[in-house]
Each structure stands twice: as structure tokens, then as C-alpha cells.
Chains A and B, each alone.
Chain A
Amino acid sequence: MQVNEGFKPTIVAFCCNWCSYAGADLAGTNRLQYPADVKIIRVPCSCRVNPLFILRAFQRGADGVILCGCHPGDCHYTTGNYYARRRMTLLFSMLDYLGIERERTRVEWVSAAEGVKFAATMNDFVSTVTALGENKRLEDLRCKAN
């Protein structure tokens, strides 16, 4: 994969409180490294993430947005990630349809025990987005100017 030298992407990671945020904490506890470009926003459940938030992130200059939740079947609220899965599948498909690079969005299921997976996921996502370069197709130049 080609690497864009010097480009530091802005990555927003929405993590559900019960599994993925805990998985991220575990990655930290185990000192597993991943780029500082990833900034995590804690939400109670993956089903809390509104497509508006994802578009908002791109608008304000994010280069990639990833949503992490409990594995299907393990949702703290039983069914939240099932709804999130459908919503994100359709949203990502629509973004792709509009020609927005589909690699800029991702959903990954990370349990509280999967610190290693969390770090690996973030490393992979950051390198994918870095290779894509700056988000040009869904940006708001007014926000960039500030």
C-alpha cells in the first residue's frame, strides 16, 4: 500500500461504552501502540450513533470514521448493535454510491477482551485512510478554513 508521507489523518472512533471502549482501555493497559490520529468518542451503545454524527465528522475535517461496538449477540442492551449494523450498512453503501471512498468508513465489533484486536483495527484503519489521503469528497471548505 502506498503511504502518503507526512499526512496525518484525523480519525474519529465512536466506541460503545460496554465493549469497545473497554477494549480500547485494555489496549492501553497492555500498552499496545496505535497512532495518535485516532480520537475516541464514548457512546453508550453503537445504536446511539446517528448517521448525522458521521457526516458531521467528515464535514469538520475527519478523514475517516470508524464505529466500534459489541459483537452481534453480545450487546449490553441486547439488540442495539443489530440496529446499528443495518443503519451503517445502508449508510456506508449510500456513501459509496455517491462516490465517497468506502474505505473511509468502517464498523468493527470489538469486545472488552479484545485489546489486541482494537489496536490492530486502529493500525489498519489509520494506514488505509493515510493511503487514501485527505478527505476531499465530503469536506466543508468553510470548516477547513477555521
Chain B
Amino acid sequence: MQRIGVFVCWCGSNIAATVDVEAVAEALSHEPGVVFSANYQYMCSEAGQNLIKDAIRDHQLTGVVICSCSPRMHEQTFRKTAAAAGLNPYMVEIANIREQCSWIHKDKAAGTEKAIILGRAAVAKVHLNAPLVAGESPVTKRALVIGGGIAGIQTALDIADAGFEVDIVEKEPTIGGKMTQLDKTFPTLDCAACILTPKMVDCAQDERIHIYAYSEVEKVEGFVGNFTVTIKKKARFVDETKCTGCGLCTEKCPQKKVPNLFNLGLDTRRAIYIPFAQAVPKVATIDADYCNMLKNGKCGVCAKVCTAGAIDYKQTDQHIEEKYGAIVVATGYNPIKLDSFEEYAYAQSPDVVTSLEFERLTNAAGPTGGTLLRPSDGKHPHTIVFVQCVGSRDTSGCGKPYCSKICCMYTAKHAMLTRDKYPDTEVYVFYIDVRTPGKNFDEFYRRAVEEYGVHYIKGMVGKVAPQADGTLMVQASDLISNEQLHISADMVVLAAAIEPDKSARPLATMLTASMDTNDFFTEAHPKLRPVESPTAGIFLSGACQGPKDIPETVAQAGAAASKVIGLLSKNKLTGNPCVARSDEMLCNGCSSCEKVCPYGAISYEDKEFRMPNRTVAIRRVAKVNPAVCQGCGACTVACPSGAMDLLGFSNRQIMAEVDAICK
């Protein structure tokens, strides 16, 4: 039997005015197990806390009930008070007789009666409380950033700047991501490479940052503070430690007909390549799908010309195991495939391009050297039609239901730059809405319309039809003047919706991080914890969490880094002791609990049980990792046998409260 002390607070007149505190203390003193009952003006004051401490010592209390304000207000205070007097802090329960009683009831008799019932429920609960100790686990002071675009780069730089080791895993041969393919950036029009490549170099030079380029995450085990990750370093058939990046091999390779993916297939490259001049690491990679030597053993030119002896045709995939305390997902986005949008003739005409292709066609390092030329005949286009929302805000099922957020601004940028460089070109933009909520965004868009004379037309393009003369007939409707338009264009640029990278879904499974129906990673809280995944120790950076432009991405990357730094700067993690626990004697191993756990805190093991007649049975039973469990209790109800229970809010405790209230 517990020895329980009850402490009824007046809260000045806040409680005492509508609840007879003396009557409450008196009534509760007769409850079973209650050996001490007192009331005091301000229980949270130092004097009040001393009253509690003294009573714990003098009466050898094993449980404490405080009838006071909301536990959201002072539960922590009173837990600390109890701990100071040598009582386990989880032996304290609060009966909320202020916010949920004295403040809402004018009738003193009713308020007093209710306060007694609430106190009784708390006493009934304390009877079943058990001392709880928060678990501790060590923290590996190293972070992993998955994805080496601007989001991953910024996160890694910020973490390294705080003094922690950080690894970047990038699936492409170089870090840099989508931003390396952009020409200028809105709304300031500075060149993407000029602001990005210095950061890439910083990553390469920072000794706390290790870049695993051309690598993928293969397996993730463990939990917050203690992840073990297997990284697959794909064979690039070039020894990274020897290659100097001189590029001689990429000039001598006889296989010239390889689509250049960096330029989105708008031109070709060799079978051995460096994606672009500022690549980090600046190391050549052999494309095994095209290399004659790897395919049929006939060639070997690159090995002959390489003075560093870096070419290694026998190289194989390497598997590296590393330990991390925190993992940041920065897997970014891709434009959607436009196969299901036949009306825009993307597959039929080379002059119908995506906006990202348009970036390459205007980039000085692109296939046209920065001069805007039609892909079909290399001539200067005189009429360009931009189509927005291609697959965005699309509920037809072909595209995505969400707004891709960046298209309005980059389309304004494309239109403005085209008019600036080629004033003889007519530029039309078809839009559903123009969305420009950002610093200097609307001003930017208005300049495109007002100063550069871009024709913005509210309406959707119905069809793009390639004509015999090489032009494109654009049929569209102008919703404002309510008329059908037919525009003979030289080029059509499609602002394709963006979607999370395809690697995100399998990665989410490995990380037990949740995703929404669009495969964007879910935040721990949409407003208050926007850079954390619900799974502890997993953080989100950039467009993997939702469509974002560069400034927002960098801001989120920094925020994710600061959360990681906060985690890594701890030597030990103290868990919430109110976690789920499975009684293995009752567990069926049915996996229901695991399915509803949002944190991946539950795993299974085959365990031997001694059975009657000296036999042994092996049963599959659930185990909760207390460092990962956040204590929601979803599993406790999913469990049919009642094996799963929640410490601090156990089935018996809640039923005891129910009984006390209903009595």
C-alpha cells in the first residue's frame, strides 16, 4: 500500500474562491492510502514546495497528489520538488482543480464536489504508479547527410562549422544537385554556379566533411544517437585517390555518343566523364553502360592516356559501415516525367522543352554555350510560349495535386531574361494563378510584365501541335477576355511539376520516417517542428519535405543543422520514461503494434520460453526501444492481448481513474 500525501492549493483565491479547499483536503484524507493531507495558499511557492518536501520526509510518503493548476503548468515543478525530497518524480500526480474546475464553475458546492472527485481519481492513479527512470543512451558525435544538393551542402557546412564530423552521401558522381544545372537565380538574378560552387569547394576542403559521391545508403539500423548505416560506394572504375581531374581521358575516349545527363540529354558526352568543370570531387567516372572496355574488353584508351594510373576496370562496389548520431534527409526533387501530357507534344517535338532544359539552353556551360537556340534546327526562336502548372495543382490524376511553388518565379525569370537578351522575341506565359509570396518576388514578376513586356495570359494551353514548317501551333484560351488563342510559336517551355526524388520512398522505409501520399517526408509537427521527422534523430532539409525555392531550402538546411548540432552536443540522451512496454509472457508477436507505431520503435525477436514438463518454446515477441518510443500509446490499443502497456498511463491506472470518477 502506498503512503500518499495530498496537497491542495488555493492558488490565492483562484481556486479557493469557488472550491472549499479545506473540505477537499479533509475529504481526500479519508481516501485509502492517504496518510497526509494539507492545503496551502500557493503550493508552487518556495514555502509550498517546502511543505511538500517536509511531508515526504516526515511521513515517508511514497506517492504525492497535488490538487492545483493544470499539470501543463506545474507538473515539472512538483516533480522536481519530489525528487529533491528523495521521491521518484513519477510518483507525483496532479489533479487539475483550477483550469478544469474552479475557473469554470461558479457554484462552490458543485466545484468542491468535483474537486474532490478529481483528487480521488489522482489518488487512485498514484496507487498504481511505479517509480520510473528515464533511460540514457550515448550519442555518436557524427552526422550523416543524405543528398548533396544545396540543402545537404548547407546542412553539412553548418554542422561542420559547429565542430562535428559530417558525411555527405550523394548518388551522383558530384555534389551540387539541381542548383548546378540552373543558370540564374530569382529574384536577384545572380548566377547559380557563382554562389553554389564556392560552397561545394568549402565542403571538399573542410576536413570535418567527408563526401561519399556516387554512393547510396543501403541499410540503416539503430536509433537516435546510435545509427549504423551501410553506404554503397558504387564502382566508378576510377581510383578517386589517384585521379587528378585533368580531364584528358574525357577528351580521348572514343565513345562519343553518350547522352549527357547533366545537360538533360540535349547533347552528348564520352563514356568516361566529369559531369561539369566545377564538379566536387573532380574525379572522372566511367559509364559502364557505354564503355567498350567494360562491355566487351575492347578499348582501354583512358587507361593508356591516364598519367596518374587512376583507371581501374576491375573496381567493384564497396560497402562501408559507419556510425552516426543523427541523419539528415536532403534527397531533393525532380521534375515529373511528362509522358502523360501528350497535349503538349513534349515527346513529338524537340522544341517543346521543360523549364530545366531551358535553363541548360541559356547556360553558358550548356549545350549551346549560352545562346538560346531551338534544339531542332539551332535557329534563334522569335516566339516562345511558357506554360505553367504542367502537372501541378492537377487533380485529374495525371499530375500532382499540390502547387510546385517555384514555377511561377522561375518562369518569370526565364521570360524576363529572354526579353532582356533577345528583345525581338515575343514571350507569352500561360498561367492559372501567378503566385509570388516571397521577398521581392511580386516586384520581380511585375517587372517582367511592366518593364520587359512579357505577355501574361490567364488560361491553360489546350494543345501544342507541331506544324510542317517547324513551328508549333499553340491553342489556348484566354480566360479574362474569354477568347480562343492560336499562337504560332518557335519554342514551348513547360513548367513541369516537381516531385520528391524516387530514392526517397525506399529511404523512408529504411529510416522508418513517415511520408505523405505525395512521397514528401512528413514533419514531426507541421508548424512547430518543421525540420524534424517524427522519427527521433532523423531531420529534414530542403525539397524532400515539400516544394521549396533556394532561399527557403537554405534556411531549412540551417535549421536542420542547428537541430543536429543540438543533438550531437549532448553526451547522453535522456528519454521520456513514459514509454510503451511489452509483457513478453502475453505477447503474440502478431505485429499489430509495430504497424501503428509512428516511430519504428518496435521490433521483434524470437525468444525461448520455458514451458511445462521441461520443454522449451520459441516465441516471437515485441520489444520496444525506449530511446525511440515517444509514448503515444497507439500500440497499446492495437494489441489484442493487452501485452503492450504504457508506463505512466497504464491500462490499470486509467481504469482506476475511470472508476474513481464514476463512483
**Known contacts A36-B110, A76-B525; is A44 also within 8 Å of B633 by CB?**
yes
Chain A proximity mask over B622-663: 1 for CB below 8 Å, otherwise 0: 000000001111101110000000100101001101110111
**Known contacts A28-B100, A57-B662, A60-B663; is A49 also within 8 Å of B524 by CB?**
no
B598 contacts the other chain (CB 8 A): yes
- Determine how close the nearest CB of chain B comes to the CB of A138; give it in whole angstroms: 12
A119 contacts the other chain (CB 8 A): yes
Whether the pair B96, A56 counts as a contact (CB closer than 8 A) is no
Q: Which of A18-26, A98-106, A126-134 contacts B (4 or more CB under 8 A)?
A: A18-26
Most buried by B among A36, A42, A43: A36
In the complex, chain B residues whose CB is within 8 Å of the CB of A78: 514, 522, 524, 534, 598
B104 contacts the other chain (CB 8 A): yes
- Determine how close the nearest CB of chain B comes to the CB of A121; give it in whole angstroms: 13
- Determine how close the nearest CB of chain B comes to the CB of A70; give it in whole angstroms: 10
**Known contacts A36-B113, A36-B114, A76-B525; is A47 also within 8 Å of B71 by CB?**
no
Whether the pair A60, B646 counts as a contact (CB closer than 8 A) is no
Chain A proximity mask over B56-72: 1 for CB below 8 Å, otherwise 0: 00000000000000111
A52 contacts the other chain (CB 8 A): yes
| Consensus secondary structure, chain B interface | helix
A2 contacts the other chain (CB 8 A): no
B106 contacts the other chain (CB 8 A): yes
Chain B interface size range: 35 or more
Q: Which residue of B lies closest to A42 (CB)?
A: B71
In the bound complex, CA of A83 to CA of B632 (Å) = 11
In the complex, chain A residues whose CB is within 8 Å of the CB of B103: 28-29, 31
Whether the pair B632, A25 counts as a contact (CB closer than 8 A) is no
In the complex, chain A residues whose CB is within 8 Å of the CB of B420: none
**Known contacts A22-B72, A28-B103, A60-B663; is A12 also within 8 Å of B658 by CB?**
yes
B99 contacts the other chain (CB 8 A): yes
| Consensus secondary structure, chain A interface | mixed
- Determine how close the nearest CB of chain A comes to the CB of B30; give it in whole angstroms: 16
- Determine how close the nearest CB of chain B comes to the CB of A112; give it in whole angstroms: 9
Whether the pair A83, B637 counts as a contact (CB closer than 8 A) is yes
**Known contacts A41-B657, A50-B651; is A33 also within 8 Å of B525 by CB?**
no
B117 contacts the other chain (CB 8 A): yes
- Determine how close the nearest CB of chain B comes to the CB of A72; give it in whole angstroms: 12
B526 contacts the other chain (CB 8 A): yes
Whether the pair A83, B596 counts as a contact (CB closer than 8 A) is yes
Whether the pair B104, A39 counts as a contact (CB closer than 8 A) is no
Q: Which residue of A lies closest to B535 (CB)?
A: A78
Docked complex: B102-132 residues within 8 A CB-CB of A: 103-107, 110-111, 113-114, 117-118, 121
B101 contacts the other chain (CB 8 A): yes
Q: Which residue of B lies closest to A49 (CB)?
A: B637
**Known contacts A41-B658, A43-B649, A47-B633; is A83 also within 8 Å of B111 by CB?**
no
In the bound complex, CA of A101 to CA of B655 (Å) = 23
In the bound complex, CA of A47 to CA of B630 (Å) = 13
Whether the pair B99, A44 counts as a contact (CB closer than 8 A) is no
- Determine how close the nearest CB of chain B comes to the CB of A10; give it in whole angstroms: 6
B52 contacts the other chain (CB 8 A): no
Q: Which residue of A lies closest to B115 (CB)?
A: A36
Chain B proximity mask over A68-87: 1 for CB below 8 Å, otherwise 0: 00000110111110010001
In the complex, chain B residues whose CB is within 8 Å of the CB of A119: 104
In the complex, chain B residues whose CB is within 8 Å of the CB of A50: 636-637, 651, 654
**Known contacts A50-B651, A61-B663, A77-B598; is A25 also within 8 Å of B100 by CB?**
yes
Whether the pair B101, A36 counts as a contact (CB closer than 8 A) is yes
Most buried by B among A10, A22, A25, A87: A25
**Known contacts A28-B99, A36-B110, A78-B524; is A43 also within 8 Å of B663 by CB?**
no
In the complex, chain B residues whose CB is within 8 Å of the CB of A60: 658-659, 662-663
Chain A interface size range: 35 or more
In the bound complex, CA of A79 to CA of B517 (Å) = 13
Whether the pair B662, A83 counts as a contact (CB closer than 8 A) is no
- Determine how close the nearest CB of chain A comes to the CB of B140; give it in whole angstroms: 26
Whether the pair A45, B633 counts as a contact (CB closer than 8 A) is yes
Q: Which residue of B lies closest to A40 (CB)?
A: B100
In the bound complex, CA of A50 to CA of B641 (Å) = 12
Q: Which residue of A lies closest to B639 (CB)?
A: A50
In the complex, chain B residues whose CB is within 8 Å of the CB of A49: 637
In the bound complex, CA of A91 to CA of B585 (Å) = 28
Whether the pair A33, B526 counts as a contact (CB closer than 8 A) is no
A27 contacts the other chain (CB 8 A): yes
Docked complex: A1-35 residues within 8 A CB-CB of B: 10, 12, 17, 21-22, 24-29, 31-34
In the bound complex, CA of A61 to CA of B659 (Å) = 9
Most buried by A among B100, B107, B655, B663: B100
Whether the pair B514, A79 counts as a contact (CB closer than 8 A) is yes
- Determine how close the nearest CB of chain A comes to the CB of B88; give it in whole angstroms: 19
In the complex, chain B residues whose CB is within 8 Å of the CB of A66: none
- Determine how close the nearest CB of chain A comes to the CB of B305; give it in whole angstroms: 55
In the bound complex, CA of A60 to CA of B655 (Å) = 10
In the complex, chain A residues whose CB is within 8 Å of the CB of B118: 39
In the bound complex, CA of A62 to CA of B121 (Å) = 14
B160 contacts the other chain (CB 8 A): no
Q: Could you jot down 30 A-B contacts, CB within 8 Å?
A: A25-B70, A26-B99, A28-B98, A28-B100, A28-B101, A32-B104, A33-B104, A36-B101, A39-B121, A41-B121, A41-B658, A41-B661, A42-B96, A44-B578, A47-B596, A47-B634, A48-B633, A48-B634, A48-B646, A50-B651, A51-B637, A53-B651, A60-B662, A62-B658, A74-B526, A78-B522, A79-B596, A80-B633, A80-B634, A83-B596
Binding site for B on A (CB under 8 A): 10, 12, 17, 21-22, 24-29, 31-34, 36, 39-45, 47-53, 56-57, 60-62, 73-74, 76-80, 83, 87, 119, 143, 146
Binding site for A on B (CB under 8 A): 70-73, 96, 98-101, 103-107, 110-111, 113-114, 117-118, 121, 514, 522, 524-526, 534, 578, 596, 598, 630-634, 636-638, 646, 649, 651, 654-655, 657-659, 661-663
The 5 closest A-B pairs by CB, nearest first: A28-B99, A48-B633, A60-B662, A77-B632, A47-B634
